[in-house]
Homo-oligomer: A and B are copies of this chain.
Amino acid sequence: MNNFTFYSPTLFSFGDGEENNTGALVRRFGGTRVLLVTGGGSVRRNGAYDAVTASLEAAGIPFAELSGVQANPRSGKVYEGIDIVRRTGADFLLAVGGGSVIDTAKAIGFGALYKGDFWDFFTGAAKIEKTLPVGVVLTISAAGSEGSDSCVITQERGNLKWGCPKTDVIRPKFAVLDPRFTCSLPAYQTASGAVDMMAHILERYFTNTPDVALTDRLCEALLKTVLDAAPKAIADPNDYAARADLMWAGMLAHNNSCGVGRDQDWASHQIEHELSAFYDCAHGAGLAVVLPAWMEYVLPHDPARLAQFAVRVFGCEMNFADPAETARQGIGRLRSFFRSLGMPTTLEELGAKAEDIPAMAAHRAEKPNGFPFGGFVKIQPADMEAILHLAEGGKQA
């Protein structure tokens, strides 16, 4: 086990109706005047907007509004929000929605206290040292931003999708998680969220750090929970217990509870970013294609660890004479599970083309620190291309 720091100071208020305490939570964490940040219309349709604004009004907290934040949030909304904060004197940011809304609120929070361009914090020209406090009412599972120390914004000048440097300063003060709000998510989005959670766990699970028995077990506990809950939530969108398991698992999958003390991988996420960039696919759908292919590719590096995954998560029988065979069974079971959720598992199903593979690797190579990447196995351009070829339909067992 490596040395580590674990810091998750966010207060989580979880369950049906908890959004009715939003006003009291804003007060508890010092807010007296709020900028409410929202996305499209879903928070108005699912009741979150009405409940939150009623709670703010009941607590006597005035609020201004910034709405229309989109997926893959863009810098324009951040500049707009900073302007509203300065005009209204808001001292608290309240994000109601999913990851994009939260990330926008975080960026407004540190941008509003800075005289220069907020993008300076992303380029490294300035360092985040203070922020307005941020609270969250989460309406989509899996993003993980509700408890995290990071945010990702796309700068419209140059179309740069960048994360700010990770800092504890920007962790939300509180996050309200009401699983009921996720009942209206379409099946594809529910499935994509489940895959993303599993990927967040598996990127931590595949490690070369020895003596990580405890976090292995925690990862496996979360993975088994998602295996159980995701099909239930898709079969019956109003299954509260399944929605609750997914929502809390999504938080635990990304607040590093199950990743402390171990080197992590994150290669599949890096490869998926290229699929998203080329085909604008859902992040979870891209991961459903990449992750099993990546596992096949890295199998020879540590068959025992992949076999452990197969046995403990999917209940495969261990082949003691040939652990790699057990590992392959586990990968097959993972791919079947993704398919059962309605996710693509091949490039073709994603709408991607094998002939673009070299261009995707070349695009990655142009990024700062483009290659190698990955903590479990170092991925070079040829490896990335080979992994994507393993994701071609004809290549799969």
A-side interface residues toward B, CB under 8 Å? 1-9, 11-18, 210-211, 213-214, 217-218, 220-222, 224-225, 228-229, 240-241, 244-245, 248-249, 257, 260-261
Contact = CB atoms under 8 A, between A and B. Distances in A.
Contacts of A17: 3
Contacts of A15: 1-4, 261
Contacts of A245: 1, 211, 213-214
A6 B14 contact: yes
A220 to B, nearest CB: 7
A304 to B, nearest CB: 17
Q: How many copies does the complex hold?
A: 2
A249 B212 CA distance: 12
Nearest to A6: B12
B5 A11 contact: yes
Contacts of A2: 15
Contacts of A218: 218, 221
Contacts of A244: 1, 211, 261
Contact of A5 (B3, B13, B220): B13
Given A213-B228, A245-B213, A257 B260 contact: no
Most B C-beta atoms less than 10 A away, residue of A5, A12, A17, A210: A5
Contacts of A4: 14-15
Given A213-B245, A217-B221, A5 B1 contact: no
A225 B213 contact: yes
A374 B241 CA distance: 25
Nearest to A13: B5
Nearest to A18: B3
A222 B210 CA distance: 18
B213 A14 contact: no
A224 B218 CA distance: 10
Contacts of A221: 214, 217-218, 220-221
Contacts of A1: 15, 241, 244-245
Given A211-B244, A217-B221, 8 more contacts: A3-B14, A3-B16, A6-B12, A9-B11, A15-B261, A213-B225, A217-B225, A221-B221
A14 B5 CA distance: 6
A390 B233 CA distance: 44
Contacts of A222: 214, 217
Contacts of A228: 213
Contacts of A9: 8-9, 11
Given A3-B16, A3-B18, A260-B14, A217 B213 contact: no
In order of increasing CB-CB distance, the 8 nearest A-B pairs are: A3-B15, A217-B221, A211-B241, A9-B9, A7-B11, A221-B221, A6-B12, A214-B225
24 contacts: A1-B15, A1-B241, A1-B244, A2-B15, A3-B15, A3-B17, A3-B18, A4-B14, A4-B15, A5-B11, A5-B12, A5-B14, A6-B12, A8-B9, A9-B9, A9-B11, A211-B245, A214-B225, A214-B229, A217-B221, A217-B222, A217-B224, A217-B225, A221-B221
A5 B11 CA distance: 7
B16 A248 contact: no
Given A15-B261, A261-B15, A214 B248 contact: yes
Contacts of A224: 217
A223 to B, nearest CB: 9
Contacts of A249: 214
Contacts of A217: 220-222, 224-225
